[in-house]
Amino acid sequence: MTITVGDPIPNVALKHLTDNGMQEVATGDLFAGKTVVLFSVPGAFTPTCSAKHLPGFVQKAEALKAKGVDEIVCLAVNDPFVMRAWGDKHEAAGKVFLLPDGNAAFTGALGLTMDGSAYGLGTRGQRFALVAKNGTVTHLAVEKPGQFEVSSAEAILDVL
């Protein structure tokens, strides 16, 4: 079942790559006591994700934080090494936290996976954005297949 406004963010342990090696992050801790914007992309280094989605949030990070956002998180069903390289390429450090979900555990718990097998991608996350306050979803915008409108940084700025 897909997460909806008013639902708590599921607590899932994920791994991400830091300067000190592989570290575990619990999504429950990531969202606790904060206002978090989470946006999901079907894959790092894919066309729309690399040309518009991540760069938009990197560019608008200060504006989002000025509206009370404590953390901006980019989720993708990719491994920690790919997410680290993608974040480095887009100079996301300090602006957007790249959260790898290599096994689609968190994306699945949100109920927002998609089948990208036709493109050789396997199970991936749908393109979406949500706002959560203290671990509870207050806004959710899921894109229609092939679209990029409601989950952009500009669209999220408009709802904050």
What is the set of active-site residues? 49
| CA 34 distance to own-chain centroid | 15
What are the tokens at 48? 């729309």
Sign of the dihedral defined by the CA atoms of residues 117, 121, 123, 127, in that order: negative
Q: Where are the alpha helices (DSSP H) in the chain?
A: 27-31, 47-48, 54-59, 61-66, 80-89, 105-110, 153-159
The residues near 85 (Cβ < 8 Å, ≥ 6 apart) are: 44
